[in-house]
A and B are shown apart, each in its own frame.
Chain A
Amino acid sequence: MTKHSRQFEALVNAHSTELFRYAYAMCRNRHQAEDLVQETYLRAWRAKDSLRDHRAARSWLYTILRREFFRLGQRTRPETRDPAELQAVAAVDYDTSTEAFAVRRAIDTLTKEDKESLLLQVIGGFSCSEIAALMESTPNATMTRLSRVRRKLRDLLSGNETTLKHEGKS
């Protein structure tokens, strides 16, 4: 096995799970998420010589994945995204609680950029500066966006809890 192959395998072992989760959170389709992750790694392998600093490999993979996701968005019509996917994944270790459903539904109401910033921080664990670099924005704008998104989500979810409580009483 070559040095490059060993490094590649290490990257797959280290990051493929979180990349899959990120891809799934963005596209909400298990098969598309898998395709996205596979395509991301294949493009990363083909462009391996362009990665000069291996410490940057993780954000590099996220950058490739984001590009692939936007390509997918251009190719895929919204109606081809599978709304029944949630039921399909219920059997494979997915949180199907009412609360988790409400959270996902609330996230779906966010704009593409808001959703992406939040998921990069929550799933990817990136700092505001790193998210700004990935999204070609500024750290201040990213901080403002994240603060606004969390406030909105909290409002949406507290409203949802109130609705659920009312439904439970009646």
Chain B
Amino acid sequence: MNCIEFRHQLLTDPRCNVDDFHQHRDTCAACDRESMQVLQLEDKLLKSFSVTPPDGLKARIILAQTLNDEKNRGKFQPQWLAAAAMMVLVIGLTGWFGLQWTNQQGGISNLQTAVLNHITDELNHLHEDNNVQTADISNLLAPFGARLEGNPGQVNYLGRCNIRKQSGIHLVVPGYKGSVTVLLMPGEFINAAVDVNSSRFSGRIIPTDYGSIAVVGEHGEMLDNISDNFIRNIHWTS
């Protein structure tokens, strides 16, 4: 970085945190002086508007939010409407729960099959060794509204995939007996963990806040640590 570039950068973003910028300032006395002057101006600017917020501002914001909710509840739920809604609800729920239970049993069974089919269809991923970086995992998680909050350990394959028309994330990690497949399946909600088994693989589908996670390896593989690791280290915000 030369003096002209430095001074342009200085006026554009005086608190720039680029190595070249710092290196030039440390080696050029004239630019160092210029930098001091601009930073003094920055401090003056900041100080000029460091006004203290009114007392109780935060409390008033939260109160306004609460009152807004109360108002909306009052607007849409007069007593007679609530009573009528309750009757419809009681009648409807009986039928709905029956239907959901039937659908869910079929749905879970389908999900188990879909998971095993997906792994079998993409067996090649079990032999990949891409040494996936945590930044790549974070980048893939971001569009799902999820973020990595810890070290997921070694990951040999990472990709986006579709399972039952839902978009999810396919990972392969090393296990004791061979490669283990981890499928993050947002939107695939189940009530309780279920086992998946085929002639070669076994594993579990575990419910999570965002849907479910499938962890499947060779028969006899130790999967608990792997599933715990991914459930603990990935935070879903939506």
Contact = CB atoms under 8 A, between A and B. Distances in A.
Interface string A81-104: 000000001001111000110011
Contact of A146 (B11, B47, B50, B54): B11
B97 interface: no
Given A53-B237, A128-B13, A150-B11, A103 B64 contact: no
Contacts of A60: none
Interface in A56-109: 89, 92-95, 99-100, 103-104, 107
Contacts, number: 111
Contacts of A121: 13
Interface residues of A, number: 48
Given A17-B53, A128-B13, A150-B41, A100 B48 contact: yes
A42 B68 contact: yes
A52 B141 CA distance: 13
Contacts of A151: 11
A46 B47 contact: no
Contact of B54 (A30, A53, A55, A128): A30
B62 A46 contact: no
A111 to B, nearest CB: 17
Interface in A17-54: 17, 20-21, 24-25, 30, 34, 37-38, 41-42, 45-46, 52-54
Contacts of B74: none
B53 A46 contact: no
B118 interface: no
B47 A95 contact: yes
Contacts of B58: 12-13, 16
B161 to A, nearest CB: 21
Given A46-B68, A53-B145, A92-B52, A153 B61 contact: no
Interface in B221-238: 237-238
A93 B38 contact: no
Given A42-B68, A104-B48, A34 B54 contact: yes
A164 interface: no
Given A30-B54, A37-B61, A53 B12 contact: no
B230 to A, nearest CB: 20
Given A34-B54, A55-B147, A100 B237 contact: no
Nearest to B46: A122
B1 interface: no
A24 B49 CA distance: 8
Contacts of B142: 53
A12 B64 contact: no
A143 B62 contact: no
Given A5-B65, A21-B51, A53-B237, 16 more contacts: A20-B53, A30-B51, A37-B57, A38-B61, A42-B61, A53-B145, A89-B51, A94-B51, A95-B47, A103-B44, A104-B48, A121-B13, A123-B46, A123-B49, A146-B13, A150-B11
Interface of B: 8, 11-14, 37-38, 41-42, 44-54, 57-58, 60-62, 64-65, 68, 142, 145, 147, 237-238
27 contacts: A9-B62, A16-B58, A17-B53, A21-B50, A24-B51, A30-B51, A34-B57, A37-B53, A37-B57, A38-B57, A38-B60, A38-B64, A42-B68, A45-B65, A46-B68, A53-B145, A54-B238, A92-B51, A93-B51, A94-B50, A94-B52, A103-B45, A118-B45, A122-B42, A146-B11, A153-B45, A157-B41
